[in-house]
Amino acid sequence: MIGIGDQAPEFELPDTDGEPQALQTPAVVIFTCNHCPYALAWHDRLMELARDYADVHFYAINPNDAERYPRDSFEAMKERVRGDGGWPMPYVHDSTQEVAREYGARTTPDVFVVDSEGALRYRGAPDGDHQDDSLRADWLREALDQVLAGEEVARAETDPVGCSVKWRQ
């Protein structure tokens, strides 16, 4: 598990086209999934953010145990992205859950901002209310703007809110 200021773990995971996606910086790493209402409620805001910050690398990582939660299988991920006509970020599968463990992901969603030097600068929720679309992931936007401007992140940590990551038993 990493803390603010630590080097973010590197990874290379397959996206829904089967292409390997390796961490490039600056980045937003989002642990998310198909079956969680919190992840679904924040989904459009996060997609909009990725479109707005085209110079930042975004990764949606599904870490859930697909055996117990078939809706989070790699096939279901592919189907979802296809059904949406593509996403503005790769949706990658952490089948071993190693990346989620290294980051210390707790929920879906759980969001991490990594600066161009590879250091973790923000971790937590996209904004303060999954039910309020008008917030537009503003905690995450603030953190990104400060990172991209070379400033300290004023609110570097918030509590992630969502469904617990479904670890293998």
- Interface residues with another protein (CB under 8 A) are 35-38, 40-41, 68-69, 130-131, 133, 161-164, 166
- Residue 24 vs residues 73, 81, 162: alpha-carbon distances, Å: 25, 22, 26
Decide whether 23 or 40 has the Cβ nearer to another protein.
40
Decide whether 8 or 39 has the Cβ nearer to another protein.
39
CB of 130 to another protein, least distance (A): 8
**What is the phi/psi pair of residue 60, to 5°?**
-100, 120
Decide whether 151 or 159 has the Cβ nearer to another protein.
159
CB of 36 to another protein, least distance (A): 6
CB of 74 to another protein, least distance (A): 18
CB of 164 to another protein, least distance (A): 4
CB of 131 to another protein, least distance (A): 7
Contacts of 15-19 with C-beta under 8 Å, sequence gap 24+, read 15/90, 15/91, 15/92, 16/74, 16/77, 16/78, 16/81, 16/82, 16/90, 16/91, 16/92, 19/90
Decide whether 42 or 59 has the Cβ nearer to another protein.
42
Decide whether 123 or 130 has the Cβ nearer to another protein.
130
- Give exposure, 41-60, as e/b (b: 16+ Cβ within 10 Å): bbbebbbebbeebeebbbbb
The DSSP result for 91-129, as a single string, is: EEE-TT-HHHHHHT--EESEEEEE-TTSBEEEEE-SSS-
